[in-house]
Amino acid sequence: MLIAFLLVQVTIDVASPEAGVIKEFVAKEGDTVEPGTKVAIISKSGEGVAHVAPSEKIPEKAAPKPTEKKDEVKQTPKPDLAAEKPKKSTPATSPPRQAASEPQLPPKDRERRVPMTRLRKRVATRLKDSQNTFALLTTFNEVDLRSEYKDAFYEKHGVKLGLMSGFIKAAVSALQHQPVVNAVIDGDDIIYRDYIDISIAVGTPKGLVVPVIRNADNMNFADIEKEINTLAKKANDGTISIDEMAGGSFTISNGGVYGSLLSTPIINPPQSAILGMHSIVSRPMVVGGNVLPRPMMYVALTYDHRLIDGREAVFFLRRIKDVVEDPRRLLLDV
C-alpha cells in the first residue's frame, strides 16, 4: 500500500512495509520529515481506521463498503459471460469471406506442371551455390563501340568482326594486367592460373550452356571469331560435348543480344569473376569538345570480393574499356 505525504510541497509515494489500512497518522499534513521517519500506523485487521489520507475523513459506516463491492464482483461475472457469448460467434463469420475470394484465383486446369530438365536443375544449383559461397560485388563502366575495321577484316579473314572477339581479346589483356581476377580460392590458398580459358555464356532453346575457348591468350581476332561460330553452332544444335564446356577461368555473358540494358551477372563457379555485356544504345557523348551520337554499351564486372579488391576490379574493367575502344593498344601494350 502507498502512503502519500507532503515534502517541501512535493507529493511522494511511500511504500508501506506491510499490507493493511491506515489506522493513525503520526506526521501531520504539511510537516517535513526525514527519510525513514514513521508517518502512520498500519492496521492489518482494519479496526479503528478513521482516515485514508490526512485531508480526507470517512465515517465509520463506510468500512463495510469493501464487503459490498466484493459481493458485486461475485455477481458481475454471470452477466459478463452472457454478454460475451455473442462475441464468440463473430470469428465464425470471417471464413466465408476468405472462401468467397478463392474462386477469384486461376483454376487449376489452366496451369501446367512440367519437370525441370537436368540442365535447368544443374544451372539452378550452380547459380545458387555461387550466391551462397561468393562475396558478390559488381562494378560498372561504359564503352564507346567504334567500328573502323569491319570491312577490311572481313575481306582478309572471311569472317565478320563481331563484338565477342573484341571483348575476349580485351579480357585476355585485362587478365594479364590483373592476374588475381584469373585466380581462384581453394581452401586457405589462392591458385593463380597461368593460362586463360574464356567461357562464353550461350542461351539455347534447351537452356544456358557455357562453351570454353581454350588458350584464348594465344589466339588472334580471326581465330577467336571462327571458334565462337563453331561452338555457338554446336550449342544451338545440341551437339556440344561436356569436354567443350568443362573448365574455364573467366566468363563473358552477352545479355545485350536479348536487349538487356544493365544487369549484375552471377559468377560461374569455381571462377572468381564474370563480365556482362549489354545492349548498344546511341547516346549523346562529348567527343573532342562536341556532343555527338555514339553507340554506347554498359559493361558490368561481378567478382568475388573475398579475393579481388575493388581497386583491382575497377582497373580490370577500365582495361576492357580502353582495349575495346582502341584495339591498337594491344600492339603498343599501353
Q: How far apart are CA 255 and CA 280, in angstroms?
A: 11
pLDDT at res. 51: 47
pLDDT of residue 61: 47
* CB distance 6 to 39 below 8 Å: no
* Residue 171 dihedral angles phi and psi, to the nearest 5°: -65, -40
Q: In the beta sheet, which residues pair with residue 42?
A: 22
Instruction: Work out whether strand 2-7 and strand 184-186 pair parallel, antiparallel, or are unpaired.
Output: unpaired
DSSP 194: S
Q: What's the pLDDT score for residue 278?
A: 96
The type of residue at 123 is V
214, 164, 229, 280: CA torsion to nearest 10 = 160
Q: Does domain 137-332 have CATH number 3.30.559.10?
A: yes
Q: What is the pLDDT of residue 2?
A: 43
User: pTM score, two decimals?
Assistant: 0.65
Active site residues: 305, 309
pLDDT at residue 102, as a whole number: 57
**pLDDT averaged per 10 residues in sequence order, the chain, 334 residues:** 42 69 78 76 65 47 49 49 50 53 71 89 90 94 82 70 88 97 96 96 86 95 92 90 93 93 93 96 92 95 97 97 91 80
- Residue 69 has what pLDDT? 47
Q: What is the pLDDT of residue 53?
A: 47
CA atoms within 13 A on the CB side of 252: 28
- Residue 172: its pLDDT value, please? 97
Tell the residue number behind the cell numbers 459506516, with chain if given.
61
**H helices present in 202-301, as ranges:** 221-237
Residue written as grid cell 452472457: 82
Residue with cell 551462397: 132
If DSSP states are collapsed to H, E and C, what string results for 30-59? CCCCCCCCCCEEEECCCCCCCEEECCEECC
d(CA 275, CA 268): 11
- Alpha carbon distance 92, 96 (integer Å): 8
In the chain, which segments carry CATH 3.30.559.10? 137-332
